[in-house]
Amino acid sequence: MGGGNIVVNKKISIIGVPMDLGQNRRGVDMGPSAIRYAGVMETLEALNFQIEDLGDIKISRPSRGAEQLQDNLRNLSQVAEGNELLAEQVDEAITAGRFPLVLGGDHSIAIGSLAGIAKHYENLGVIWYDAHGDLNTADTSPSGNIHGMPLAVNLGLGHERLTNILGYQPKIKPENIVLIGARSLDEGEKELIRETGIKVYTMHEVDRMGMSAVITEVTDYLKDRTDGVHLSLDLDGLDPGDAPGVGTPVIGGLSYRESHLAMEMLAETDMVTSAEFVEVNPILDEKNKTAVIAVGLMGSLFGEKLK
């Protein structure tokens, strides 16, 4: 079952998803270009990976003025179509024995990436590195923005255009999910976390325990119960001082140094079998700083070391 891990399998497929329809701030569709411009190919090639850049998924746009809420879901049809295409590409990459590295785009793209990945695993673990839980449904969402729903969708909660991509649901089990860096959770999300027992390390826990202890606990928790681990890293998990180019910044976040340490420790465990880096918005950024940080974190995840 499953694709290869980071160290053994030196083949990576990069898939860009210029999706900005899961929310209502423009610009995050340029995230994949910004990350490429920041040198993702060069960084990973220098670590002796064989990189295949599959380019960008085609995202259809609602006609001007036609952006609408359908069942309290913004741009449902276009978000679903884009995620279906992404799921197929990710599925093909894993089938070919390649590590899928997905570049976003807003976090709604995790619907498609996890649909394509989870079918290859019995018990896929998910590390959700994010300021937000992304556990809303149309019923609990204050905004109707689908980028606040992908984790709920992957648990089988939500509109079936989204939950049933590739014809199966749920994609993942709540006990195989760990949230790191949470500091902005809606009431409905808190309730769902309590009900399902999803493991959460808020900023409070990170501050008290330190990132090293958090990652050690997370890897101990996931290693026996999962047969692969997907890392879904939202750049808004980092503090806006470090990563300003995101659509929903929340102050008091993870530092760049803590995040590097987390990636280096995950690289040492050799557990991560797929990854996505999302919510880079160059329009809101300072000199492409957030994309450069994303590439730096990818370097650490794929084994870049100072010595």
Q: Which among 132, 159, 230, 260 is annotated as catalytic?
A: 132
Q: Which among 56, 84, 91, 234 is annotated as catalytic?
A: 234
Signed CA dihedral, 22, 28, 29, 35: sign only: negative
Please confirm, yes or no, whether 279 is among the known catalytic residues: yes
CA distance 22 to 268: 34
Please confirm, yes or no, whether 130 is among the known catalytic residues: yes
First-to-final CA distance of the chain: 34
Please confirm, yes or no, whether 134 is among the known catalytic residues: yes
Task: Calculate ∠ Cα 189-190-191, nearest 5°.
Answer: 90
Nearest CA among 86, 72, 96 for reference residue 11: 96
Q: Which among 107, 159, 230, 260 is annotated as catalytic?
A: 107
Q: Which among 56, 81, 84, 130 is annotated as catalytic?
A: 130
Instruction: Give bridge partners of residue 51 from the DSSP assignment.
Output: 12
Q: Which among 81, 258, 279, 285 is annotated as catalytic?
A: 279
Q: Which among 189, 236, 239, 304 is annotated as catalytic?
A: 236
Please confirm, yes or no, whether 236 is among the known catalytic residues: yes
Q: Which among 84, 106, 147, 239 is annotated as catalytic?
A: 147
Please confirm, yes or no, whether 29 is among the known catalytic residues: no
Nearest CA among 215, 238, 146, 152 for reference residue 188: 152
Q: Which among 56, 106, 134, 258 is annotated as catalytic?
A: 134
Please confirm, yes or no, whether 186 is among the known catalytic residues: no
Task: Please identify every residue annotated as catalytic.
Answer: 107, 130, 132, 134, 147, 234, 236, 279
